Amino acid sequence: MPDGTASPTIAPPSAPRPLVGVLWMLTTGILFVAVTAAVKHGAAELPAAQSAFLRYALGLVFLIPAIGPLRHTRLTSRQWKLFGLRGVAHMFGVVLWFYAMTRITIAEVTAMNYMAPVYITLGAALFLGERLAARRLIAVGIAFVGALIILRPGVRELSDGHLAMVLAAITFAVSYLTAKRMADELPASVVVAMLSLIVPLGLMPLAIAVWQWPTPQEYAWLFLVAFFATAGHYTMTRAFAAAPVTVTQPVTFMQLIWSVLLGLLLFGEGIDGWVVVGGSLIIASTTFIAIREAMLKRHKKL
């Protein structure tokens, strides 16, 4: 899910438009917070596995433009295995995310979801052989401090929702790392389409095991979840196409602000200063990592 924390690598345009990129990224943040709010408001009574399944099943309608490229793609056995690995990781990630969404505040979900890029950085160093420089290692450490500030183990009782969100960010990192490898070999539309097909297939048995018939309103809310998520990925792509990551990535901080305000105004969730401080540290760290990675890639092209 949530799906707006990992920055896609898109070649910078010949004529950057910073203001346009910032506006697209602001819209992205609003859409991804809308995903969270729609789940919390409209699907809180459904089992997490069923909600996750319906989100992807209803979202298959948005897969129609990718049917052509998918039909003409011939995958190797190795690529099938990697897609299977990503599908399983993402499948458990979305179930954990949906579960966490109904147990903890929107701000906590949003802030802790930003740990996924940190796990991606560590995973790339451990499993893909990427070099982890001292500055990026410090940024990773600061992000973990931010996570500890949010969770405050030993100071307060942690709920199963907090644990679910920690595990969700880790499984999403596995998914994104696999996607990173596949993106070097296949078109982005194929990578996205395969995930959109495999995840609902994997979730179907879990959903059937806990199935309860949704109301028409719950169906409508979950369709909105699929729409907001798809629109968020589109606007994020437009943001990175319009301006460099150094311009658009810092704007993601607004997503935490939107989530705090939404939780306060619509769900009566109090403003937790510890979550804001910890989330700010995580976002600052992931922004540094994203900008640093973009600078290194630009340097390699020169």
Q: For Cα atoms 195, 199, 201, give the angle at the middle one, nearest 5 degrees.
A: 125
Work out the average pLDDT over 63-75.
Answer: 74
Work out the average pLDDT over 284-290.
Answer: 85
Work out the average pLDDT over 116-143.
Answer: 82
Looking at residue 12, its pLDDT comes to: 43
Q: Model-level pTM? A: 0.77
DSSP 11: P
DSSP 62: G
Q: Where are the domains of the chain?
A: 18-301
Which helix (H) or strand (E) segment is 269 a member of? none
- 44-54 pLDDT, tens per residue? 888 999 999 99
Q: Which residue has the higher pLDDT, 64 or 264?
A: 264
Q: Is the pLDDT reported for residue 93 higher than 50?
A: yes
CB-CB neighbours of 299 under 10 Å: 8
Q: Which residues contact 7 (CB under 8 A, 6 or more apart)?
A: 117, 240, 245, 249, 290, 294
How far, in Å, CA of 1 to CA of 87, rounded?
12
Work out the average pLDDT over 210-223.
Answer: 91
Say if CB 114 and CB 5 are below 8 A apart: yes
Looking at residue 170, its pLDDT comes to: 92
CB-CB neighbours of 128 under 10 Å: 11
Q: Is the pLDDT reported for residue 207 higher than 90?
A: yes
- 130-142 pLDDT, tens per residue? 777 788 889 889 9
Looking at residue 294, its pLDDT comes to: 72
Alpha helices in the chain (DSSP H): 18-42, 48-58, 67-71, 77-101, 106-113, 116-127, 134-151, 160-183, 188-209, 216-242, 245-248, 253-267, 273-301
Looking at residue 47, its pLDDT comes to: 92
Q: Is the pLDDT reported for residue 13 higher than 80?
A: no
Q: Is the pLDDT reported for residue 5 higher than 50?
A: no
